[in-house]
Amino acid sequence: MTLAIGKSPPRPLTSLEMQRYAAFRNNCIKKLIFVLLIISAIILVVPAFAETRDESFTLGSTTWKKSDLSGTKTQGFRWLVFSMAYYVYGALPQIVENGGALTLDPNAEYMNVFNTIYESMAAVGMGLAVMWVMLDLIEKAQMDQMTPEVLIRWCIKLVVAIIVVDNGADLAKALMQVGNDFVNQLSVASAENGPSVEILNDFFDRIKTSFWTGTLTIFLELIVPGIAMIFCLLMMFVQVFGRIIEAGVRFAFIPIGISDAFTHGINSPGMRYIKKFFAVCLQGAVLLAIMIAGTNMMALITAGDDGFGIAGNLGVVSQLVIGFTMIGAMMKSQQLVNDIVGA
């Protein structure tokens, strides 16, 4: 009989030790959540505090002025709270859109490197178009299918492909502009319509007529939707910067896709490449639509609209659910636009 040499197996924890460990773990989780909430609140308050330097805010055709708030001692705090409300319910889609993050500018500095690559790929695309036409003609000649009609048809395809590849940059920029137009129209429509203006009017009236305790209550009401919108904004920027890079890369190599599409037809891989490039151009409008829809739903819940009466009773839970739903929708935005264009 041999004895195992080494350390003895660890002693199992007693029930008291397990309870202490569980209590310690739960306490750490609570502290971590509290710290995250504080950090998120600071992230929310700092931009709003920076906005307090402005004397007025405008959304659509409605303007709110700092001078309209009563109370000289509490006017600054009241304006800070309204700035948070404006930041959460009225300004996020406009801030993103006005900053140019959702539009693709083919003349921007970051596109210079992609334009350089495009110039090289244009020659490659023309060469590939000639090669594919020649290979197809050789194949038809070997199969005794060469006729004057076939030769003329393929020569026309080759000429058209070369012309389109040579002007492919203009085609790609036109597709970018289509996506930008959708973003601009959606942004204008959301500013003029939707419940955001009514919600901000309600917040402004409540802040204007309430005591400082009521204003503090409104401040606390804005924390949860503000945190949800911050995470949505971060997710949007992840999608936006990834989209900019993808659009630039697809723009640089689109001559190859064009040459393949115009020599092999609409069902070719080249046509799918062009469709995916167009999908990237439209993704900005989809992201903005998701942000606007989520913001309006949160605003309706805050206002206690009849259509969201049940959800309004849930309050914080409903706003968090909408926030996470927006994040999930943003992550699937690329798949959605691919389905829209059939890529």
The residue among 119 and 53 whose pLDDT is bigger is: 119
Q: What is the pLDDT of residue 50?
A: 47
Highest mean pLDDT among 3-7, 123-127, 173-177, 199-203: 173-177
Residue 114 binned pLDDT confidence (cut-offs 50, 70, 90): confident
- Residue 225 and residue 118 in contact, taking contact as beta carbons nearer than 8 Å: no
Q: Say which range, 55-69, 86-100, 253-267, 274-288, has the weakest mean pLDDT.
A: 86-100
Query: What average pLDDT does the segment 150-166 reach?
Result: 77
Structure confidence by residue, pLDDT tens digits, 289-343: 887 787 777 767 665 544 444 444 455 667 677 777 888 888 888 888 888 887 6
Q: What is the pLDDT of residue 302?
A: 61
**Domain span holding position 275:** 106-195+211-341
Angstrom distance (rounded) from CA 11 to CA 33: 32
Tell me: pLDDT of 213 over 50.
yes
Query: What average pLDDT does the segment 148-153 reach?
Result: 76
Count the domains in the chain.
1
Q: Is residue 309 part of a domain?
A: yes
Using a 10 angstrom Cβ sphere, with 0-12 exposed, 13-18 middle and 19 or more buried, the burial of residue 99 is exposed
Q: What is the pLDDT of residue 93?
A: 54
Tell me: pLDDT of 287 over 60.
yes
Q: Is residue 226 part of a domain?
A: yes
Residue 30 binned pLDDT confidence (cut-offs 50, 70, 90): confident
Q: Is residue 26 part of a domain?
A: no
Tell me: pLDDT of 174 over 80.
yes
Q: What is the pLDDT of residue 340?
A: 83
Q: Is residue 234 part of a domain?
A: yes
Tell me: pLDDT of 125 over 70.
yes
What's the whole-model pTM score?
0.66
Which one, of 328, 83, 92, 50, lies nearest residue 233 by Cα?
A: 92
Q: Is residue 20 part of a domain?
A: no
Q: Is residue 258 part of a domain?
A: yes
Angstrom distance (rounded) from CA 298 to CA 304: 10
Q: Is residue 2 part of a domain?
A: no
Tell me: pLDDT of 7 over 70.
no
Q: Is residue 271 part of a domain?
A: yes
Q: What is the pLDDT of residue 173?
A: 86
Q: What is the pLDDT of residue 133?
A: 75
Q: What is the pLDDT of residue 91?
A: 60
- Residue 289 and residue 156 in contact, taking contact as beta carbons nearer than 8 Å: no
Distances 80 to 23, 114, 191, 333 between C-alpha atoms, Å: 39, 43, 22, 34
The residue among 178 and 292 whose pLDDT is bigger is: 178
Residue 176 binned pLDDT confidence (cut-offs 50, 70, 90): confident
Tell me: pLDDT of 246 over 70.
yes
Residue 65: enclosing H or E segment and its boundaries?
strand 62-65
Kindly report the backbone phi and psi dihedral angles of residue 114, in degrees, each rounded to the nearest multiple of 5, phi listed first. Answer: -70, -35
Q: What is the pLDDT of residue 312?
A: 44
